[in-house]
């Protein structure tokens, strides 16, 4: 059972500061925070989020490396069916001490600042990494046949399914016929 994420995703950098080379290992399972998703797919809130992270004190700040994994679930972009599979995301993120960032000559967009309280909240970083690891066009499986372009039926449910090309003049009649119960053959 995953603990509520609360402070479980917050690192206290006080012990690491000024001691380059010091390492901590963050291996725990927390609940996925809210908002780790896109429209079609995401990591459901409260599900297990497994952290396997190394927290390393470096001169500039704190370097976070490792992996996070959780079950992704959502809707297949082809057949609109449910999909769910584990997804592991690589993490590599430098958090910079505020005073270090001040004398940095160049802005590094990938850098994140550590606040004055020396607490590092991993939630926004993990959200960015995990959400951008989600597929743009999630599919339930590589061979997913999708939906019938004509009637929207899931092709998987009836692979033999096809439509005769009907003269538009007969289409109205065919619709009428489809409305009646047809005997199974
Ligand atoms: Zn599918
Ligand atoms: Zn069809």
Point out the ligand nearest to the CA of residue 139: 1
pLDDT in tens, 9-68: 998 888 898 899 999 999 999 999 999 999 889 999 999 999 999 999 999 899 999 999
What are residue 92's DSSP bridge partners?
65
pLDDT of residue 107: 57
Contact 138, 40 (CB under 8 A): yes
| pLDDT for 134 beyond 80 | yes
Q: How far apart are CA 119 and CA 115, in angstroms?
A: 6
| pLDDT for 1 beyond 70 | no
Going from the C-alpha of 140 to that of each of 48, 82, 128, the distances in angstroms are 21, 7, 23
Contact 144, 156 (CB under 8 A): yes
pLDDT of residue 106: 57
Distance 72 CA to ligand 2 centre (A): 30
pLDDT in tens, 68-126: 999 999 999 999 999 989 999 999 999 998 877 655 555 566 778 888 889 999 999 99
| pLDDT for 179 beyond 80 | no
pLDDT of residue 136: 87
Q: Which two tokens stand for residue 131?
A: 């959400």
Average pLDDT over all residues of the chain:
86
Contact 33, 141 (CB under 8 A): no
Distance 38 CA to ligand 1 centre (A): 17
Distance 103 CA to ligand 1 centre (A): 51
pLDDT of residue 7: 73
Of all residues in the chain, the percent with pLDDT exceeding 90 is 52
């Amino acid at each position: 059972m995953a603990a509520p994420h609360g402070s479980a995703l917050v690192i206290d950098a006080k012990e690491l500061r000024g001691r380059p080379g010091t390492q901590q290992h963050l291996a725990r399972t927390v609940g996925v925070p809210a908002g780790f998703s896109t429209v079609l797919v995401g990591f459901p809130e409260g599900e297990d989020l497994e952290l396997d992270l190394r927290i390393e004190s470096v001169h500039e700040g704190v370097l976070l490396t490792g992996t996070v994994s959780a079950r992704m679930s959502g809707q297949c972009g082809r057949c609109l069916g449910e999909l769910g599979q584990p997804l592991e995301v690589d993490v590599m993120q430098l958090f910079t001490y505020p005073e270090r960032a001040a004398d940095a000559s160049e802005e590094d967009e990938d850098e994140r600042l550590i606040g004055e309280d020396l607490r590092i909240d991993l939630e926004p970083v993990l959200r960015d990494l995990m959400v951008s690891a989600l597929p743009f066009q999630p599919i339930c499986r590589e061979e997913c046949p999708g939906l019938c372009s004509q009637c929207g039926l899931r092709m998987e449910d009836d692979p033999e399914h096809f439509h005769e090309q009907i003269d538009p003049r007969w289409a109205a009649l065919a619709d009428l016929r489809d409305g009646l119960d047809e005997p199974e053959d």
